Amino acid sequence: MKKRVKIGFISVLLGTCLTLTGCKVEYKDIAKALDEGDMKTVMSASDDGYAYVSVGVYRILSYPKVGEKEDEARIDQVTKGIFSIRDHSFYGVTSHSKSTYTINYSGEDILGTTDKKEENVYTANISYSNKNIQLSTPNVDASLVTFFFTDLKGLAKVTPEDTRRGGDEPVLVRFKFNKQQFDKIVKPKLHLDYDEFISAELEMKLNSPNKPNEIVDMSLNIKYKKKVQNQLLSFEDSYAVGFAHKQDNDKDGKKEYLDYKNKFNEERK
């Protein structure tokens, strides 16, 4: 499938009509869809109920700065495949990689990075059904695999921090959550614990005011601190969700879903 997917940083929808550059944009339908788990609307699914989805999760862990050096570790989990809206199942491929490196400073200026090490931990076929995740490769860490966007009850009650549109650019809606909102709406869908909450932003791009139900992409950015081996370390988690246009899903969605499903079942034998 040739997917015209644009990956960006997440946003969220409204339950009211906003005025953007003099143009009213109606968000009630998309807010209702997210609240009720109506994935046909959220994903621009095909007529027979299939939709391409990609979810990239990028976690950066920063250690305390020592002199002019700061160590960081990064974990990437990238998942892509086809979602069936009929039973909320998914088949596809997921990959997990990690890297470590040292950032060198001169005062507040970054000079560059050294001591970089990279590892591709695994690539596996994946199944998601009844809110359970299974991989074709056993005994590997899949805690960063998530489909949080299928269950965002309460979003419509949050007032957006920012809404804007420019020219032919997609409509942008951004929400900033306080700790209580984040803990209620988003955190239960993630494998995430923290000792100190810093910030959380959810952003959504919609295709245009005239097509308010077609989501271009979504992203979520979370900053927090957590104790690891008695050290309070800084974390930044970024989630990037991409969808395909309906015409692409109509063309190839069901075939690719069955292909991914067959590959998963073959490897599980």
Q: What is the pLDDT of residues 152-196, one digit of tens each?
A: 888 878 877 766 655 566 677 788 999 999 999 999 999 899 999
**Is 10's pLDDT higher than 50?**
no
Number of domains forming the structure of the chain: 1
What is this structure's pTM?
Answer: 0.85
H-run or E-run covering 29: helix 28-36
Sheet of 196-208, strands arranged across = 132-135, 109-129, 89-106, 69-84, 50-62, 231-243, 211-228, 196-208, 171-177, 162-164
Q: Which CATH number characterizes residue 200's domain?
A: 2.50.20
Whose tokens are 């695999």? That residue is 145
- pLDDT greater at residue 216 or residue 211: 216
Does residue 1 sit within a domain? no
**Mean per-residue pLDDT for 16-24?**
45
Q: What is the pLDDT of residue 75?
A: 96
Does residue 11 sit within a domain? no
Reported as a single tens digit per residue, the pLDDT across 30-82 is: 667 777 778 888 888 899 999 999 999 999 999 888 888 889 999 999 999 99
Residue ranges with strand state E in the chain: 17-20, 23-26, 50-62, 69-84, 89-106, 109-129, 132-135, 162-164, 171-177, 196-208, 211-228, 231-243
- pLDDT greater at residue 221 or residue 112: 221
**Is 7's pLDDT higher than 70?**
no
Whose tokens are 């990279």? That residue is 118
Q: What is the pLDDT of residue 212?
A: 52
Does residue 6 sit within a domain? no
**Is 204's pLDDT higher than 70?**
yes
CB-CB contact of 53 with 82 (8 Å): yes
Reported as a single tens digit per residue, the pLDDT across 221-267 is: 999 999 998 899 999 999 999 999 888 999 989 999 999 999 999 98
Does residue 5 sit within a domain? no
Does residue 56 sit within a domain? yes
Tokens of 199: 């910030």
- pLDDT greater at residue 96 or residue 64: 96
Closest listed residue to residue 203, CA positions, set 184, 165, 175: 175
d(CA 198, CA 149): 21
d(CA 11, CA 175): 6
**Mean per-residue pLDDT for 105-126?**
88
Domain that holds residue 58: 17-268
